[in-house]
């Protein structure tokens, strides 16, 4: 069965500092991988996705993620965070069918 682990429940970062959110997945074949962001009281917005090809993918809002098959990871990064990046971030894995499996999320707090 596919699964996603986001080991950090809550991360606090200073504005302007770099960010890395961790995601590890379990999937029997080549996965499709996603990062979503959710602001309070809102739905999920797709930040970026990996289907195949270049293992470093660029997304919206200055985010990027790197697929590392050997580590079963798909960590999200941003070189310099802004106060507006404060939100909850979800990693998800799928595989060409209709089902996505989500992690439990990482809440990001930005301090001045």
Partner 1 sequence: ETGVTQTPRHLVMGMTNKKSLKCEQHLGHNAMYWYKQSAKKPLELMFVYSLEERVENNSVPSRFSPECPNSSHLFLHLHTLQPEDSALYLCASSQARRTEAFFGQGTRLTVV
Residue 25 found at the interface with partner 1 (CB under 8 A): no
Residue 99 found at the interface with partner 1 (CB under 8 A): yes
- Candidate ranges 18-26, 36-44, 61-69, 70-78; the one touching partner 1 (CB under 8 A): 36-44
Classified as helix, coil or strand, 42 is coil
CA distance 33 to 19: 19
Residue 52 found at the interface with partner 1 (CB under 8 A): no
Residues 103, 4: contact at Cβ < 8 Å?
A: yes
Residue 79 found at the interface with partner 1 (CB under 8 A): no
CA distance 28 to 25: 10
Residue 42 found at the interface with partner 1 (CB under 8 A): yes
β-pair type (106-111, 10-14): parallel
Residue 104 found at the interface with partner 1 (CB under 8 A): yes
CA distance 106 to 21: 8
CA angle 55, 84, 21 (to 5 degrees): 35
Instruction: Pick between residue 7 and residue 79 the one whose CB is nearest to partner 1.
Output: 7
Supply the minimum distance, in Å, between the C-beta of residue 17 and partner 1: 27
Binding site for partner 1 (CB under 8 A): 32, 34, 36, 41-46, 49, 90, 94-100, 102-105
């Amino acid at each position: 069965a596919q699964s996603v682990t986001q080991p950090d429940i809550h991360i606090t970062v200073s504005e302007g500092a770099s960010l890395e959110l961790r995601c590890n997945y379990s999937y029997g074949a080549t996965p499709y991988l996603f990062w979503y962001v959710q602001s309070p009281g809102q739905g999920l917005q797709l930040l970026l996705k990996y289907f195949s090809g270049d293992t470093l993918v660029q997304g919206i809002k200055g985010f990027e993620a790197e697929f590392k098959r050997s580590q079963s990871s798909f960590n999200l990064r941003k070189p310099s965070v802004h106060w507006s990046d404060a939100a909850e971030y979800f990693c998800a894995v799928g595989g060409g069918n209709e089902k996505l499996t989500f992690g439990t999320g990482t809440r990001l707090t930005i301090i001045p």
